[in-house]
Amino acid sequence: PKTKLAFIKVHKAASSTIMQILQRFGYLRKLSFVQHISRDVNGLYPHGLSKPNFLMPPQGESHDILTYHTVYDRPNIERLLTPDAKFVTILREPFKHFASAFPFYGYKKILNVTAPNPLEAFLENPGFYDNLNRGVYKTKSPMAMDLGLPLRLLSPSYQNEIANTTRQFINKISQEFDLVMISDHFDESLVLFKRLMCWDLKDILYYKYNNYNYSSQYDTSKISQKLRDNHKEWDALDYALYEHFNDTLWKKIAMEGNSFVQELAHFRDVELKMRVHCNSDYSALEPIVISE
């Protein structure tokens, strides 16, 4: 199995579940994780990788796995791991991402939105709230920012260059990442990840982590198409990023052939059995034996 891995943990995109998988894999093999000396899981965010004096030293010549929140910084990651490390990240459908992030970050309070449905009120005029300058940038291309997009490129003065910026940014991520997973197709992404890393099936079994449904705080089912279009215009770069890598994911799957379909079905079967087992009084149950 490959053990050198940089996982860029995008906020609110099922990345904590991936982190759980990587932590278990590393713990069982005594691998070295890149982490802040405080051991705070957010200690590396946003640019902690550029401050080596604040990082825990590796257990060997170099670290093995990066999985905590940080902004993508290729040179510093290669310095901490090795240039041949695999680079992986994950994206989420942008409107679902927004609907989850809005209550999670407390934008109703931050922006003093008093409307009955704060989410709808924001979508009516995102630019108005942007001018309040209270951290609302996290609603505009937040996934791209986690992947290293400079914040200045989201300012109004760069809007005429957004198409060119988007194209260049997508090309950069395509060239520099070995796999971009899609949280909306989580199991498919995990099987691709398993194949990329030459891991075993038991290595990618997961139990949903940090699974509170923040998006359920606001009813998004009745949000009009006009407001959804407003969001797509507001968050244009993330939509382009998601659409490109969602297409890329399915092209990769098609290239894997029928064996992928069979492996995915087997993985889901084992995952379900594991979930039932772990939700039962398993002290009275026989252990699960996982066949590859």
The yes-or-no verdict on residue 134 having pLDDT over 60 is no
Q: What is the mean pLDDT of residues 132-149?
A: 81
Give the number of C-alpha atoms closer than 13 A to the C-alpha of residue 137, restricted to the C-beta side.
Answer: 13
pLDDT value at 135 more than 80: no
Bridge partner residues of 55 (DSSP): 36
Distance CA 20, CA 15 (A): 9
Question: Above 90 in pLDDT, residue 25?
Answer: yes
Comparing 284 with 78, the larger pLDDT belongs to 78
pLDDT at 215 over 70: no
The alpha helices in 69-202, defined as continuous H runs, are: 74-80, 94-104, 107-110, 118-124, 126-130, 142-146, 162-176, 186-197
With beta carbons less than 8 A apart as the criterion, state whether 12 and 146 touch: no
CA distance 157 to 124: 22
Question: Residue 46 CB: number of other CB atoms within 10 A?
Answer: 15
Q: How far apart are CA 199 and CA 205, in angstroms?
A: 11
Q: Rounded to whole angstroms, how far apart are CA atoms 183 and 249?
A: 11
Q: What's the one-letter identity of residue 285?
A: L
Residue 162: pLDDT band (50, 70, 90) is confident
CB distance 182 to 246 below 8 Å: yes
Q: Are 188 and 251 in contact (CB under 8 A)?
A: no
Q: Which domains does the chain have, with CATH numbers?
A: 5-284 (3.40.50)
What Cα–Cα distance (Å) separates residue 184 from each residue in 93, 96, 114, 253? 7, 10, 32, 15
Is the pTM here over 0.85, yes or no?
yes
Kindly list the distances between the CA atom of residue 156 and the CA atoms of 138, 142, 145, 169, 187, in Å, as whole numbers in the listed order: 15, 16, 16, 18, 38
Q: How many CA atoms lie within 13 A of 61 on its CB side?
A: 3
Contact between residue 73 and residue 49 where contact means Cβ atoms under 8 Å apart: yes
292 has pLDDT over 80: no
Q: What is the pLDDT of residue 282?
A: 62
Q: How buried is residue 98: exposed, middle or buried, by Cβ count under 10 Å (0-12/13-18/19+)?
A: buried
> Which residue in this structure is represented by tokens 């999985």?
67
